[in-house]
Amino acid sequence: MEKINHQIGVGSLIISDKGRKYVNEVLDNNRLSYGPFCQKFENLFAKLHQCKYSILSNSGTSALEIAVATLKEAENWKDGDEIIVPALTFVASINVILQNNLKPVFVDVDKKTYNIDPKKIEDKITEKTKGIMVVHLFGHPCDMDPIMELVKKYNLKMIEDSCETIFAKYKGKSVGSFGDISCFSTYACHIIQTGVGGLSLTNNEKYAVILRSLVNHGRNNIYLSMDDDKGKRDKELKMVMDKRFSFERRGYSYRITELEAALGLAQLEDIENIMKQRRKNAQFLSNSLKKWEEYIQLPTIMDGAEHSFMMFPIVIKTDKIKRDALTLFLEENNIETRHMLPLTNQPYLPKLFGEDIEDKHPVAKNINKNGFYIGCQVDLTEEELAYMVSKFDEFFTKFV
């Protein structure tokens, strides 16, 4: 097949006509600070996940950081307390734990789903374990039933890192509706794309108050929007005026604007079509690459689960070929790749957790060495998908 002269990325940005319309409404309203589009986006996102409270922030990482900070404050965790995390995830998942002066405790992952292995969690629970952060990677949910049993057994709090997995279900229940706090990302090239952005969901009112405060410098929740003093008089107005600059905790400036919310709302209102196309693209790639399963592991979908396919993950299964040889070949032919979120081999981890940190987690180590992903985004054309498959065919035919 003739070489495509443009890069087929691991993600893309699409701004629909509705998205442009909503952004223009924001500009016409001359309002960028937290307002009606932010509120609509939050409310719809919460409703779609069967949650009561939704808090916008400026990134999925920020959402995770304030989730950890909220639980630490609300549950009286102490510096050095432990949170269990998977040994394969984006580095932000552990950074936010360290930044809150807590300790991440790593658990190896399942070799088929790449998510935390429930069978290996209990051995890592100690008297200092306060919570678990499950990370739904690449679009596939964790195996939640056995994890929830452990959460209940040991009275743990749970954060769901759903930054890569959105609008997938596990046994009929939406990913992001299991945790005490769940966190999502709307970064560029994610499933919902606002450029920058994140959301935190919870059903706990106390947590919601702290989360929203932390996003706004730690401010008293009585005044978080320029609308919060409108229509008030006398004592009620005086109370708001007195609390406008009342900060109850050390917080962050993690707010988002109406522009990002407008883009997100437009996509959220079209989410069924977005998910349908991603899954259609993934099905084409899986069917077309199945003939090479002797050499590569294609995405697995666990019984009772759905896959969002934020990306299309692949792991080399044989020593006959090297991951880097295949990814270099793909990149030279304008097919972008990424390594599958290596964590335990990152340069700064041995300094904190010992030189053997990667060897202690052999499944994650193998994925660090042999895993990569390609794009599965909505706007891949039939020609691009066929071209991607043709280059895999060419590589395996030529080099194996």
Please state, in angstroms and rounded to a whole number, the distance separating the CA atoms of residues 100 and 85. Answer: 15
Query: Is residue 195 located within the same domain as residue 291?
Result: no
Domain boundary among the residues 246, 268, 290 is at 268
Helices (H), the chain: 17-29, 36-48, 60-74, 92-99, 144-153, 205-215, 234-243, 258-268, 271-289, 323-332, 349-353, 362-370, 382-399
Closest C-alpha to 124, from 328, 360, 375: 360
Clarify whether residues 264 and 275 are in a common domain.
no
Instruction: Look up the CATH number of the domain holding residue 262.
Output: 3.40.640.10
CATH for 365: 3.90.1150.10
Q: What share of the chain is helix, strand, coil (3-state, %, to 5)?
A: 40, 15, 45
How many domains, the chain?
2
Q: Residue 3 pLDDT more than 90?
A: no
Q: Can you say whether the dihedral through the CA atoms of 376, 278, 254, 128 is positive or negative?
A: negative
CA 89 to CA 344: how far, in whole Å? Answer: 9
Chain segment 90-137, per-residue pLDDT in tens: 999 999 999 999 999 999 999 999 999 999 999 999 999 999 999 999
User: Tens digit of pLDDT for each residue in 377-391?
Assistant: 999 999 999 999 999
Kindly report the pTM of this predicted structure.
Answer: 0.95
Domain encompassing residue 169: 17-268
CA dist 56 and 183 (Å) reads 10
Any domain includes 70: yes
| Residue 328 φ/ψ, nearest 5 degrees | -65, -40
Both 258 and 305 in one domain: the answer is: no
> Is 80 exceeded by the pLDDT of residue 226?
no
pLDDT digits (tens, 9 = 90+) for 40-49: 999 999 999 9
Judgement on whether residues 217 and 329 belong to the same structural domain of the protein: no
